[in-house]
Chains A and B, each alone.
Chain A
Amino acid sequence: MPRVVLGRLLTLVLSLAGASVLIFLVVQALPGDLAQVMLGERATPAQIEALRERLGLNRPWVVRYLDWVGDMVRGDLGTSALSGLRVTDLVAGPIRVTGWLVLWSTLGSILVALPLGMWSALRRRHWDGFAVNALSQFGMAVPAFLAGILLVLVVAVRWGWLPANGYVPLARDPGEWARHLVLPVVSLVLVQGALLVRYVRSAFVEVLTEDHITTARSVGWTKLAALWRHGMRQAGLSLVTVLGLQVASLFVGAIVVENVFVLPGLGSMVLRAVVQRDFIVVQSVVMLLVVAVLVVNTVVDLLQAVLDPRIRAKEQR
């Protein structure tokens, strides 16, 4: 087991290095002068030169890359070129908003998808199992922002039950905090849950056709009992895998949904930075999101090794 952990951590470090190079190259090495872009068309050459100097753009890019990475390792995400504020201070609030959104959406979609997916797998030869399956196809075809817009229209505007947008920090008013998060979370759950239902369904269909389940059924176990006793570990394994794969799309969904509900999260922050051409903020916040995805993926990999004796055995050979 220690070898498995060590191997995964090494992979994580390598992936982080790869991802940071990619982000840096896209933002800083692409054609186009960042200082020119930030100042606009009417800037004089002297102004551009001054900004280049201030941002350290005149140094070779290898040096700039190592500087950026070195700062990040020490917990410094750089300084916004526009406001002069430290990015670590800028993200402190937004990170909580996005974190809550992603956390509740993940829990919500598991809560919705697990029973529905199991139902659809168990009843796959009946109309209701098929109906769940068809419903999930529709859910997958609806973009999260569209679900959000419709929810605002019906629940917030027509019925006036919940606020249409905005955010209240948990510490200030837990009740209002929850009320403001319901609609964003529901719109993410609708979309992510629909996808998850399909994965859960196919995982359980696969388990149900395994020989040991057939054996259990033939000696008198009911379908559900056989599944519960002999299939959960295997199905749980697939579920963990899928959740790992979904983290990235969940973060993206959060970025879009934050925009619909005007939540002050990382998504809104990075989009504002894009418009303002504040490339250091863009670069560091994207890196932050990618780090989150890669770390979650590593945790998922490790969980798999814990749940699946086959993986452990393979690694130890």
Chain B
Amino acid sequence: MMRRASLVVGAVLVGLVLMVSLVGLVWTPYDPARVVPGDRLLSPSATHWLGTDAFGIDILSRIMAGARSVLLVGVFAVGIAALVGVPLGIVAGMNSGWLGRVVVRATDVLYAFPAVLLAILFAGALGSSTTTAMLAIGIATIPVFTRIARAGVLQVMSQDFITASRVSGIGWLRIAWRHVLPNIAPLIGVQASVSFALAILAEAALSYLGLATPPEVPTWGRMLYDAQRHLLNDPHLAIAPAVAIAGAVLGFNLLGDGLRDLLDPRLKEVAE
């Protein structure tokens, strides 16, 4: 029962984030970038549901616009990681020779570079931007996908139908595509959800550190950074982005957990 709950709560939270960002694409209550000096630091009211920030910008509008960059970074980062990491993992799992070993070792090295560290490197060389943040988070997430794909492949490869197709002379690429990939797809899906949560956290940390987006682009991490100076008198500035980040991360984490339990009957047994 509790297991089902995490799936439902996760799906609802993720759905909410998706909806807010989609609506934010076409409509926000106010312009999320227009500075209105007369409306500085207003408390939440009927006209500004979540109040305004130090520039007089409506916070709800900024949250909605921020949701977009969060999703954008998440989709690109997880996309890069899965597109590079999964094929590498399949190679590492199917090839037990030197190639497979090299891939495993290379992934282990990349494990020592968390997203923030890579982003610092990129920013040091190229300057910081949304692109470098996405790249850094994506590349830092590659080894996770490689490892999980490899583990899945090793399990699939030991099964009879794979042996049968190998004996009947089907090439490895075809086996990988037709038999291995579909069987590890659920694993990858679960990992994508969990990695998405981590990508949101990383993006928040990066924009808080000023390593992701330029200051004028609204992101939740940047909002928290701006809110920090006004915490004493106007804590409402921090509450909205804080809740948004925590809610989105919680949502993707719970969704990943719920999916895992749904797909893996063995885990369910252990948990119950």
Residues of A within 8 A of B (CB): 11, 14-15, 18-19, 22-23, 26-28, 30, 32, 34, 37, 124-125, 130, 137-138, 140-146, 149-150, 152-153, 157, 205-206, 209, 245, 248-249, 251-252, 255-256, 259, 270-271, 273-275, 277, 279, 282-283, 286, 289-290, 293-294, 297
Q: A252: which B residues are within 8 A, CB to CB?
A: 114-117, 205
- A32 with B114: CB separation less than 8 A: no
**A138→B122 contact, CB < 8 A:** no
Are A248 and B111 in touch, CB under 8 angstroms? yes
Contact A286 B111 (CB under 8 A): no
Q: A27 contacts which of B121, B228, B245 (Cβ < 8 Å)?
A: B121
Q: Which residue of B lies closest to A297 (CB)?
A: B112
- Chain A residues whose CB sits within 8 angstroms of the CB of B108 once the complex forms: 15
Interchain CB contact under 8 A, A138 and B246: yes
Known: A32-B125, A145-B205, A279-B125. A15 touches B270 (CB 8 A): no
Assess whether A146 is in contact with B245, with CB atoms less than 8 Å apart: yes
Q: 9 pairs across A/B with beta carbons < 8 Å? A: A26-B121, A32-B125, A124-B271, A149-B224, A252-B205, A255-B116, A259-B209, A271-B211, A279-B125
Interface residue ranges of B174-222 to A (CB < 8 Å): 197, 201, 204-205, 208-211, 221
Give every chain B residue within 8 A of A145 (Cβ-Cβ). Answer: 204-205, 208, 224
Given contacts A30-B125, A277-B124, contact A286 B246 (CB under 8 A): no
- Determine the chain B residues whose CB is within 8 A of the CB of A245 once the complex forms: 111
Q: B125, A28: Cβ atoms under 8 Å?
A: yes
Contact at B242–A146, with CB atoms within 8 Å?
A: yes
Q: Are A289 and B117 in contact (CB under 8 A)?
A: yes
**Residues in chain B within 8 A of chain A (CB atoms):** 2, 6, 105-106, 108-118, 120-128, 197, 201, 204-205, 208-211, 221, 224, 227-228, 231-232, 235, 238, 242, 245-247, 249-250, 253-254, 270-272
A286:B120 contact, CB within 8 angstroms = yes
> Which applies to chain B's interface (DSSP): helix, strand, loop or mixed?
helix
Residues of chain B within 8 A (CB-CB) of A124 are 271
Cβ contact within 8 Å between B112 and A19: yes
B270 and A206 contacting across the interface, CB-CB below 8 Å? yes
Q: In the bound complex, do residue B112 and residue A283 qualify as a contact, i.e. CB atoms below 8 Å apart?
A: no
Q: Which of A28, A30, A209 has the most CB of B within 10 A?
A: A30
Q: How far is the CB of B109 from chain A (nearest CB, A)?
A: 4
Assuming the contacts A14-B105, A138-B250, asked whether A274 and B123 have C-beta atoms less than 8 A apart, the reply is: yes
- Min C-beta distance of B125 to chain A, whole Å: 5
Whether B126 contacts A32 by the Cβ 8 Å rule is: yes
Shortest distance from the beta carbon of B30 to any chain A beta carbon, whole Å: 25
CB nearest to B106 among chain A residues: A18
Contact of A205 among B2, B114, B271 (CB under 8 A): B271
- Give A248 to B231 CA distance when docked, in angstroms: 30
| A28→B121 CA distance, assembly (Å) | 10
Whether B113 contacts A30 by the Cβ 8 Å rule is no
B253 A141 Cβ-Cβ under 8 A: yes
B253 touches A274 (CB 8 A): no
B115's nearest neighbour on chain A, judged by CB, is A252
A146→B224 contact, CB < 8 A? yes
Please tell me if the beta carbons of B254 and A137 are within 8 angstroms of each other in the complex.
yes
* Measured CA separation A157–B231 after assembly (Å): 9
Q: A149-B224, A256-B208 are in contact. Are A143 and B245 (CB under 8 A)?
A: yes
A37 contacts across to B, CB distance below 8 A: 125, 127
Residues of chain B with a CB closer than 8 A to A146's CB: 204, 224, 242, 245-246
How distant is the Cα of A282 from the Cα of B121 in the complex, in angstroms? Answer: 7
B224 cross-chain contacts in A, Cβ below 8 A: 145-146, 149
| Residue picked from A23, A37, A145, A256, most chain B C-beta under 10 Å | A145
Question: Residue among B6, B109, B116 with the most chain A CB within 10 A?
Answer: B109
CA distance A152 to B210 in the complex (A): 20
Chain A residues positioned under 8 Å from B114 (CB to CB): 248-249, 251-252
Q: Is the CB of A282 within 8 A of B113?
A: no
